[in-house]
Structures are given as C-alpha cells and as structure tokens.
Amino acid sequence: QVQLVESGGGFVQAGGSLRLSCAASGSIDSINAMGWYRQAPGNQRELVATITRFGGTYYADSVKGRFTISRDNDNNAVYLQMNGLKPEDTAVYFCNVKLVVGPRYDYWGQGTQVTVSS
C-alpha cells in the first residue's frame, strides 16, 4: 500500500496564498506522476495540476498563472503553491500518485480543505 500525507490547507481571504504539501510513503517502486485534484460540494472531482517524473506539468485553465506545482522525486513529495486565491477555488484538495509499476497504479490522499472567502 501507498500512503499519501497531505498538509497546508486552511482558510484564506480572496487574493491570499496557500501551499499544499503531499508526501508518499509505503510500497513505492517508482512514481510516474504526482498531482492535485479538487472537489467542491455538488461537483465532480477535477484535475488541478500534475507533474511527471520528468518535470512535465499540466494546469487546469482555471488556475494557470496562479498555481505552481513542483515535486521532490528523491522524497516522493509534491507541492502546490496557490496564489491569488479566489472563492471558486474553495474545495477539498486531494493528492494523487500514479506509479510506474502495479498491481495498483493510482493512489489518493485523504484530502485537505481549502476555503477562500470573498
């Protein structure tokens, strides 16, 4: 099993910043990619940002220019720096890890709440 430990969520006013952290541990051979998803009440879980082991990144259009994803491959950690937060960013944010080898390739963290007030 792989365990993901998340931290950094909280309550912030619009325009503020938060930094989310996630560290993976357990039966890890090699991580192909790490990323962040979010889910607000009544909404489907959506991809926010992802980064591969080679450094390639992807951002949802809604967060481009405001969020920055980074990783530490040696420590199996991923971070999400969130600047210029908006009320619509309010959601539970989930860390996600995709492994190179199985049998299970996809793991999720417990989620951390981010609340942005106007």
Are the C-beta atoms of residues 10 and 19 closer than 8 Å to each other? no
Cα dihedral 77, 63, 108, 57 in deg (nearest 10): -50
Q: What is the pLDDT of residue 53?
A: 86
Give me the residue label for tokens 């619509």: 88
Whether 23 shows a pLDDT value over 90: the answer reads yes
The Cβ-side half-sphere exposure at 36, using a 13 Å CA radius, reads: 36
Are the C-beta atoms of residues 106 and 33 closer than 8 Å to each other? no
Q: What is the pLDDT of residue 106?
A: 92
Tens digits of residue pLDDT in 54-113: 899 999 999 999 999 999 878 889 999 999 999 999 999 999 999 988 788 899 999 999
Q: What is the pLDDT of residue 88?
A: 97
Whether 28 shows a pLDDT value over 80: the answer reads no
